[in-house]
A and B are shown apart, each in its own frame.
Chain A
Amino acid sequence: MPTTVQISSRGEGERAGVYPGRVMTGETLYPRLEPLLAQVQKPIQYVGGELNAQVKPWEDVPVHWALMYPDAYEVGLPNQGLMILYEVLNERPDALAERTYAVWPDLAALMREAGVGQFTVDSHRAVADFDLLGVSFATELGYTNLLEALDLAGVPIHAVDRDETHPVVVAGGHAAFNPEPVADFVDCAVLGDGEQAVGDITDVVKAWKEQGRPGGRVELLARLARVDGVYVPRFYAVSYGPDGTIASVARTRDDVPARVGKRTVMDLDEWPYPKTPLVPLAESVHERMSVEIFRGCTRGCRFCQAGMITRPVRERTITGIGSMVDQGLKATGYQEVGLLSLSSADHSEIGQLAKELADRYEGSNTGLSLPSTRVDAFNVTLANELSRNGRRSGLTFAPEGGSERIRRVINKTVSKEDLVRTVTTAYANGWTQVKLYFMCGLPTETDEDVLEIAELATEVIRAGREASGRKDIRCTVSIGGFVPKPHTPFQWAAQASAETIDHRLRVLRQAINADRRIGRSIGMRYHDGKPGVIEGLLSRGDRRVGRVIERVWRDGGKFDGWSEHFSYDRWTAAAAEELAPFGVDLDWFTTRERTEHEVLPWDHLDSGLDKEWLWEDWQEALNEEEVSDCRWTPCYDCGVCPTNGTEIQIGPTGRSLLPLTVVGG
């Protein structure tokens, strides 16, 4: 018979009530989890023990972080952001960090039955025992998984219902630039780069605990709200006008900032993380290690939230990259390294870097890859260099728009001739498969713009067969529905309806299949328009959308990024019911074009971009005018550098890869 022993003053008694049998915080749940694992699919994802995983004694540190990626382990484990924070926090002597991922429904059901709470994979500790739960939202479709994890953990899903015994729920990642739809569920959101912010948060929590938790949870959150880049939604009140739009967002305390700015790490070489990337036993979506070669992008693609919110461009130096690649390969045993960024061919030293890395790893069965997608001949040259020791199979380009006109609208200008020439060059250099990424449903788009994708693919196959002398080349056209995102020039745009997207994809497929002799060399990959509509609701939603998320989760919704779990009907039914009392609906949030002066739900969150500049850029988009990259042309006043006191950080440094030290003799 379990006896409750009061170990510290953290209110274990209460939580032992939630899950009987647990006595102290930080205790492992593994003995009770193990019998459940024998009954579920892919149990390896729940046991931890990955290479480079870290386990620190609970009592040795004052601050405990659980870090969550709100999707399945195989998707979440390779996430760079979480891996970086995991290392940064575990390097601190006063903190530990463990990871937790979304649990599949088969295990979740067994856990509820057996009274086993959401756990970390590192030490199988209860998430409820941690001081902080950091959740990284790369996409809004993870929101229902947050609610599921909180509920499984025995933590109240509403932030207002939590007390000082519960973890502080911190949202991060790109979606945190509009956390309003999850404002009821998270305690705070961190805007921008997390490396330094998690350290500041740790300091605040540590001091508050050492002082004996003065003022309880509210005081802790107020202190956190004064940390640069931390937004605490409960200290901001939102009011709505008669037309349903936001009338105002006002802070409810004087000691928190009126607008919250983002964090920016300026010298990436000072933050060479992850140093020892995690290597799972289980299969994951990326069977390679990645080195981030720069952060930020100034290409100015108007649809791209990542490019807008991560400005300015900050390059890692060639020497910094070289040592991260070397150290990472040694620490992981991976056979492939991806040189990651939003547009890797734009690194000022990329040509030299590609050559020197290819030289260094020649004959070692180590693959190098650039996930870069800009369409120009230089990318083919780079890809040739990186693949000179291996196989040339697939190469990916992202023209994004089907017609030259729409490419001017989105500011991703490349002429049809250049595009065909580039892809043909790839075929002529021995690449047999080219993948082309496009979007559908872009602002001002017509059926004709999308139909040009078929013409382009046909042209590419014709020219490619001729240039390579081969019939077996292939072109895969991959199409995603466009979702307007906050902090971009398209934040005002009307999202295309699911019907519009589905119609355009249908006519495009017919056009591609019209000539079978060519069409059989063209593959087409796409999703229907429905998930994009829900992503649109969650992306540009405000606090009223929180009720929809909660309703969907209560009705059984989770894993919304997985087509076999996503239910459009469940979302539309919940949206209709929960939004009606406010006089708004799903279309109001998605297919409605916003006006210039409408208060947007994220206006009090500062990505550094000047709203007036965003509006001008939106008007220029509608006029099909382009804007150039500020890396090579004068500043066009997007606002980021003066707001944040930053500037672009690029080379070339003029240096080379440092020679490797010889190991083992």
Chain B
Amino acid sequence: MARQPDGPPPPPTVQKLRLRYTKRGPLRFASHRDLARALERALRRAQVPMAFSAGFSPHPKISYVGAAPTGAASEAEYLEIGVTRPCDPDAVRAALDAALPPGIDVVDCVAAREGTGGLAERIDASVWRLELPGVEPAELGSAVAAFLARDVVTVERRTKSGLKDVDARAAVAAATVGGEVGCAILTVVVRQVTPAVRPDDVVAALAAVADLRPPSPPRAVREAQGRLDDTGTVADPLGPDRLASTHCQGEHATV
């Protein structure tokens, strides 16, 4: 039998909190591991009563959902934490936000509502906004039309184990073009499939189908995540929990 530390087991999770946070400004260059480290430290500084796993090296109970890639900004990253005493979600939001560096901003926090399902199941698509400085909207428009006309657009992605082929087309549910002279903006709704299709892959696909080569690296921002509905929009993944908060909450503990 595996050895266990002496003493009582750690206190159990009594409440789950779901948070939306951002990756703005220069912090878009943070990797998921960087963010996870920053969040764990901030939770300690904010004195959130985190639940920990048992064992010799206890870990705080945090689950991350679909992290944005390094270099991509986001307005809609999600995670869930377990706490050992009931907390006021607004107080946790404010305390955690204050403990995080500017750019990682906690913009929403709700208590998970029993019986409404897991957070991960409520997210299957992302809305990405890509700014392409130096590209004209018309130029982008025709490239996007050519891209959408295809069934499959294979692009190469560099991974740790070498180059890998990825189909960038099938995952794209919708694409619209906007922007102004000198900076086109592409808004794409991308299904979260395996292997994941990233903003970079979509840009590479535009190069493949229409030889669109932006003079400087595009800036990508994830604007939303959620379940893709028939109208092509994504639903707020915290919605089902938010419904619950109108009628519940016994004691509130300060953080």
Contacts from B to A (Cβ < 8 Å): 5, 25-27, 29-31, 33-35, 37-38, 40-45, 47, 52, 56-58, 70-71, 99, 101-103, 216-217, 254-255
Contacts and interface: CB of A to CB of B under 8 A. Distances in A.
Interface stretch (A35-43, A262-270, A418-426, A440-448): A35-43
Nearest to A388: B6
A30 B26 contact: yes
Contact of A35 (B43, B101, B103, B216): B216
Given A35-B217, A283-B33, A333 B27 contact: no
A42 B32 CA distance: 11
A332 B45 contact: yes
Contacts of A42: 31
A287 B37 CA distance: 10
A49 interface: yes
Nearest to A281: B34
Contacts of B70: 43-44
Interface string A30-62: 100011011100111011111100000000000
A390 interface: yes
A335 interface: yes
A665 B253 CA distance: 11
Given A48-B26, A333-B99, A390 B56 contact: yes
B27 A39 contact: no
Give the one of B25, B41, B56 with max A CB within 10 A.
B41
Given A44-B34, A391-B56, 16 more contacts: A30-B26, A38-B217, A44-B27, A44-B29, A44-B30, A44-B70, A49-B26, A49-B102, A281-B30, A281-B101, A282-B34, A331-B45, A365-B52, A390-B56, A390-B57, A664-B254
Nearest to A36: B217
Given A35-B216, A282-B34, A47 B29 contact: yes
Given A44-B29, A283-B33, A333 B56 contact: no
Nearest to A332: B41
- Chain A contact residues, majority secondary structure: loop
A44 B56 CA distance: 31
A36 to B, nearest CB: 9
Nearest to A38: B217
Contacts of A43: 29, 70-71
Contacts of B41: 51, 279, 332-334
Contacts of A35: 216-217
Give the one of B29, B35, B42, B47 with max A CB within 10 A.
B29
Given A35-B217, A47-B27, A283 B37 contact: yes
Contacts of A30: 26
Contacts of A517: none
A390 B7 CA distance: 11
A516 interface: no
B254 A665 contact: yes
A330 interface: yes
15 contacts: A35-B217, A38-B71, A38-B217, A43-B70, A44-B29, A46-B29, A51-B38, A279-B41, A283-B34, A331-B45, A333-B42, A333-B44, A335-B44, A391-B5, A665-B254
B29 A37 contact: yes
A319 B33 CA distance: 36
B79 to A, nearest CB: 16
Give the one of A46, A47, A48, A332 with max B CB within 10 A.
A47
A47 B42 contact: no
Contacts of B254: 664-665
9 nearest interchain CB pairs?
Answer: A333-B41, A47-B26, A38-B217, A43-B29, A333-B45, A391-B56, A333-B44, A281-B34, A35-B216
A50 B101 contact: yes
A499 B232 CA distance: 69
A43 B69 CA distance: 12
A39 B217 contact: yes
B33 A49 contact: no
Contacts of B217: 35, 38-39
Contact of B35 (A38, A281, A335, A665): A281
Contact of B57 (A38, A46, A49, A391): A391
Nearest to A33: B26
